């Protein structure tokens, strides 16, 4: 049953949970206002906003050993990323500020047996005056390049607790905790799909890797195979023996797409951030970008705070696109790239990608599409994009226990050669080994889960659509932009698992949300249905500003999971009834 206790991880008893319980409207508001009755109970949170306790422990140890008086530190998975944070802190400080970077590495495995649990790892640690923590934290949030909690756990043990038999990776097998395994068994009701091989090399090792039971052993020596499996899965190529092939083939990624054109990142935001950074790195003269449609908050932050700036077309409609075309034709605007989501979060609008592509070809700008909400089993955006980004944290993983992101270069793009050279020279694979192993396992039944979620969501939408309490309902299947979604929809794809709605009476929104017996907190695409008052959670400090982009302050967003369709609809119906009871 979903917990209704403030601050409890979602999923419960999961040490690296991605979400956290904010069970009432009042708790969400109080969290945004920093009230201690909520913040002191927070044992978890979305990892780009809430720094995991094990990362805090590692930071305290590093500060104690290497810090100077009045300093704090922030930890990143490489020296190069740490240097980027250092430049950000200096850029956004109002004074000359001393910022230094320390590089530390853990020891490599000394024997063949140790390769299963020991891996050489390097971190970059940024030290800065304590009063500049908020700036450094902004870089952590916007770029998505912070160290993962699993990597921090490993580095903490290796650098500071090596002599402790209870915590050193050298003295115990690398595995899920008992609580994490139990949570996974409860949440993952659909069976995992067995793959017979990941690729052709090392068949014996591959068989051993695949045959390990779900959630038992995390053998680090297979992390390269896990990465390869992920890249192949993301570009739509799976082995011939397993039933997921038909689902993956529906994605029509394209025969020319290779796994070498897929780049893995610690988070989805890191993929978007590095897409932007790459474009800035390949153009002769950096120009502003266009953000088309109301996006997830940090996409806009990246475009605003890194580089020349952004032209924000928040409505993302045909009129906005026509105005952009007019500005381009008249020479009033010269842009480097257009960023958009497909569909957008939270209004589920689909941009006219065919028109955007034609403008991009005519006026020589790049197109970056974030396909997270649609997911590539439902929508085929690659022909219209030069770069496709996605958060693998969401439905691709489903289990809400690991972060990840991907970036795909379109091999048919006119930008491909320049971008490929940039990534050949610049790319660092910083996706932590254990995170890769867990994500590979989580995503094996991605196609099955996506299909079930599509089906259940349609039923939930029809229920909500029939309610006299609801004023506006947002879902690609019933959107004014459905025609654009259908143009890119895969032959057997659906309309996804995300739905948003606004009640006629704001009091009904509060009553419904407080009554609904679902998991409640940030994130989406989880195997369990997850609800949140989206504007309150993501835009609390700018509720008046976002109204101009048709984002109602009382909008509720629901991400549908794997629950029984009838049970979920019954739960929603009871909460609608609770809201209606106020009027009697």
Indicate if 430 and 317 belong to the same structural domain. Answer: yes
pLDDT of residue 327: 96
pLDDT of residue 252: 53
Indicate if 278 and 425 belong to the same structural domain. Answer: yes
β-strand partners of 503: 470
Q: Is residue 332 in a domain?
A: yes
The C-alpha atoms of residue 525 and residue 562 are separated, in whole angstroms, by 10
118, 147, 176: which is the final residue of a domain? Answer: 147
Rounded to an integer, the average pLDDT of 170-196 is: 35
Q: Quick check: 3 and 23 in contact, CB under 8 A?
A: yes
Indicate if 521 and 416 belong to the same structural domain. Answer: no
The C-alpha atoms of residue 332 and residue 312 are separated, in whole angstroms, by 15
User: To which H or E segment does residue 153 belong?
Assistant: helix 149-160
The C-alpha atoms of residue 395 and residue 297 are separated, in whole angstroms, by 19
Indicate if 299 and 274 belong to the same structural domain. Answer: yes
- Which of 254-258, 323-327, 376-380, 548-552 is least confident? 254-258
The C-alpha atoms of residue 319 and residue 313 are separated, in whole angstroms, by 10
CATH code of 292's domain: 3.40.640.10
Indicate if 377 and 408 belong to the same structural domain. Answer: yes
What is the number of structural domains in the chain? Answer: 3
Residue numbers of the domain that contains 325: 261-443
What is the 8-class DSSP label of residue 313? Answer: E
443, 473, 504: which is the final residue of a domain? Answer: 443
Q: Is residue 572 in a domain?
A: yes
Q: Please write the tens of the pLDDT for every residue from 530-551.
A: 999 999 999 999 999 999 999 9
Q: Is residue 224 in a domain?
A: no
More confident position, 177 or 360: 360
pLDDT of residue 141: 95
Q: Quick check: 22 and 6 in contact, CB under 8 A?
A: yes
Examine the pLDDT at 186 and tell me if it is beyond 70: no
- In the three-class reduction of DSSP (H, G, I as helix; E, B as strand; rest coil), residue 339 is classed as strand
- Which of 71-80, 132-141, 164-173, 346-355 is least confident? 164-173
Indicate if 430 and 452 belong to the same structural domain. Answer: no
pLDDT of residue 584: 76
Indicate if 499 and 529 belong to the same structural domain. Answer: yes
pLDDT of residue 237: 67
- Which of 80-89, 139-148, 246-255, 403-412 is least confident? 246-255
Indicate if 286 and 385 belong to the same structural domain. Answer: yes
Residue corresponding to tokens 């935001």: 269
pLDDT of residue 255: 65
Indicate if 439 and 462 belong to the same structural domain. Answer: no
The C-alpha atoms of residue 518 and residue 532 are separated, in whole angstroms, by 10
Indicate if 456 and 403 belong to the same structural domain. Answer: no
Q: Please write the tens of the pLDDT for every residue from 285-331.
A: 999 999 999 999 899 999 999 999 999 999 999 999 999 999 999 99
Q: Please write the tens of the pLDDT for every residue from 14-63.
A: 999 999 999 999 999 999 999 999 999 998 889 898 999 999 999 999 99
Examine the pLDDT at 224 and tell me if it is beyond 70: yes
Mean pLDDT of the residues in the chain:
89
The C-alpha atoms of residue 179 and residue 544 are separated, in whole angstroms, by 42
Indicate if 502 and 405 belong to the same structural domain. Answer: no
């Amino acid at each position: 049953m979903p917990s209704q206790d403030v601050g409890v991880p979602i999923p419960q008893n999961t040490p690296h949970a991605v979400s956290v319980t904010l069970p009432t409207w009042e708790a969400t508001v109080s969290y945004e206002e920093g009230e201690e009755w909520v913040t002191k109970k927070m044992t978890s949170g979305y990892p780009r906003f809430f720094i995991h306790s094990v990362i805090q422990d590692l930071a305290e140890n590093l500060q104690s050993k290497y810090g100077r008086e009045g300093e704090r530190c922030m930890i990143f998975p490489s020296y190069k990323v740490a240097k980027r944070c250092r430049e950000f802190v200096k850029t956004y400080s109002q004074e000359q500020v001393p910022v230094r970077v320390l590089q530390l590495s853990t020891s490599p495995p000394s024997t063949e047996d140790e390769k299963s649990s020991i891996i050489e790892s390097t971190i970059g640690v940024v030290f800065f005056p304590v009063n500049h923590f908020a700036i450094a934290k902004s870089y952590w949030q916007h770029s998505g390049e912070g160290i993962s909690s699993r990597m921090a756990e490993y580095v903490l043990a290796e650098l500071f607790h090596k002599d402790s038999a209870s915590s050193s990776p050298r003295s115990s097998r690398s595995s899920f905790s008992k609580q994490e395994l139990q949570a996974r068994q409860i949440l993952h009701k659909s069976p995992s799909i067995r793959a017979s091989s990941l690729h052709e090399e090392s068949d014996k090792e591959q068989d051993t890797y695949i045959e390990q039971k779900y959630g038992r052993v995390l053998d680090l020596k297979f992390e390269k195979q896990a990465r390869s499996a992920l890249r192949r899965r993301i570009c739509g190529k799976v082995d011939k023996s397993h039933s997921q092939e038909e689902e993956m083939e529906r994605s029509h990624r394209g025969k020319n797409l290779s796994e070498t054109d897929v780049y893995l990142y610690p988070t989805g935001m890191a993929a978007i951030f590095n897409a932007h950074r790459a474009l800035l790195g390949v153009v002769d003269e950096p120009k502003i970008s266009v953000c088309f449609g109301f996006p997830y908050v940090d996409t806009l932050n990246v475009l605003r705070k890194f580089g020349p700036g952004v032209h924000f077309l928040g409505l993302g409609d045909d009129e906005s696109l026509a105005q952009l075309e007019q500005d381009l034709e008249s020479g009033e605007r010269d842009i480097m790239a257009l960023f958009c989501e497909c569909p957008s979060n939270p209004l589920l609008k689909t941009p006219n990608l065919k028109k955007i592509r034609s403008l991009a070809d005519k006026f020589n700008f790049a197109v970056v599409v974030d396909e997270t909400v649609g997911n590539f089993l439902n929508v085929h955006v690659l022909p219209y994009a030069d770069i496709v980004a996605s958060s693998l944290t969401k439905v691709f993983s489903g289990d809400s226990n690991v972060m990840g992101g991907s970036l795909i270069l379109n091999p048919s793009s006119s930008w491909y050669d320049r971008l490929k050279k940039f990534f050949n020279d610049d790319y660092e694979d910083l996706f932590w080994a254990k995170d890769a192993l867990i994500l590979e396992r989580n995503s094996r039944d991605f196609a099955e889960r996506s299909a079930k979620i599509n089906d259940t969501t349609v039923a939930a939408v029809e229920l909500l659509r029939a309610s006299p309490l609801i004023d506006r309902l947002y879902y690609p299947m019933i959107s004014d932009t459905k025609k654009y979604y259908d143009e890119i929809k895969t032959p057997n794809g659906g309309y996804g698992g995300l739905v948003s709605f606004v009640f006629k009476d704001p009091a009904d929104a509060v009553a419904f949300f407080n009554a609904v017996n679902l998991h409640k907190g940030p994130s989406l695409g989880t195997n369990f249905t997850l609800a949140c008052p989206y504007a309150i959670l993501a835009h609390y400090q700018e509720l008046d500003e976002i109204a101009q982009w048709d984002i109602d302050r009382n909008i509720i967003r629901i991400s549908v999971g794997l629950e029984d369709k009838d049970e979920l609809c019954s739960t929603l119906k009871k909460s609608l009834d609770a809201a209606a009871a106020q009027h009697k």
